[in-house]
Chain A
Amino acid sequence: MMGGGGGVVIPSFGHGDSCVTGDHAFCWGWVRDHWGDTLGPALWQHVELTLIAVGIGFAIAFPLALLAHRFPRLEQPFGAFSALVYTIPSLALFQLLVPFTGITWTTVEIALVGYTLVILFPNIVAGLRSASADVVEAAHGMGLTRVQVLTRIELPLAMPAIVGGLRIAVVSTVAIATIAATLLPDGLGYPIFLALKEPTPFKTEIYSAGVLAVALAIGCDLLLVGLRRLVVPWARASA
């Protein structure tokens, strides 16, 4: 089940200069040689895995949160359910979906989407609730309809919390997506698995893929901080 099966040519050692064969702490030469066939594609797959998961997760969480905002009684059961989902080990969840959807991207994405829902839903609900009762009352008094209150007052005020939820969701998804490599030969987790399968773990591959994963998480987070500036121009102070 690990990786793509036995037939894969392990690219780790390549043509192997002395740094690689001696497994020194870090070999820039290996990174240069294998950016094109290993690290680059893995990084790109990782970005795809993450974007799809957070995109679908948001598309599901947003309407659900609107519903829970309109009918507060729905929130409690969903909260309890999501707390339970959050305790499921990712390694186990990927495997448990295999009988239903096979060893496919669908399986990986269902699991990743599940984890993003747990983060996005409560954040969006909390955001929608951040408009003070007085403000909403005043808006009703001015004759705004319920939809207008939502789009002109509650949603703009919810933006900081929504972007905050997206930040956590993206960063955690980047992290969890490395585990997808237990199922598929995709994402930044895969080079790490290959490196661990060598007779002695190949350090350069572990470090380079690991640094890329962490850098991807930080990069996404910074992008969302930038997005926050755009959608919440009135709250420039703290990031």
Chain B
Amino acid sequence: MPTPCDQTSPTRDETVHPPSADPFVGLRVAITGGTSGLGLALVREFLARGASVAFVARGRERVERVARDHPGSHGIVGDLSKKDDIYPIAMQMAGELGGLNVLINNASDLGPTPLALLGDTSCEDLERALATNVLGPFRLTKALLGALAASARDGRAAVVVNISSDAALNAYPRWGAYGASKAALHHLTCIWNEELAAEGVQFVSLDPGDMDTPMHALAVPDADPATLKSPEVAAREVTDAIRAVLPVRPAM
């Protein structure tokens, strides 16, 4: 098992688990950016495994459509980059789920599109990337920390997954705004994890790899989809990585 502060590039866990031991049944999971790409695949994966799922995204129409198409999910409209949206989002997540076990900070902003050299990146584009990729997850995590710590005290799972990128660790030209914001998020994840280990809240930084998602198409428009990972596969890898850090519960 990787230590939570390696940035893990997960591979499929091939262990066969009996269904009765599935630790996801009844788990309360909140996902940001849940109406497309990896976020939507995560909504489906967690629902299929018996978890209760709340997701947030900016567009009301899309949120309502995804919630309608996925009975049992809780759709929340909100913008993670806006300070005033954070507590209303947190309240709906903790209220509708009746507490929280897993928070997945998945919503991300690419910075300038098309991608640009840092010298050509407007300050506003960098600010927006930082607001969505760093401040948003920090604020939301802080608002939900009480709910997560309560789960941990109760002997239940309390995990925050921050979706990272290899651009957080490598200096790819033209990925400056995104890469710098993801590097900051990755480092926050590591420090959260050190500071809250004693409270029983775990933090994981995960790099899902290059996926066939709307965001990737925006960044690399001419990429061959055949070379990209499907979000569904990435979502299963994320759930496997979460499973690896869940408290061990005996099968019922």
A and B found bound together: no
Give me the interface of B with A, judged by CB distance under 8 Å. Answer: none
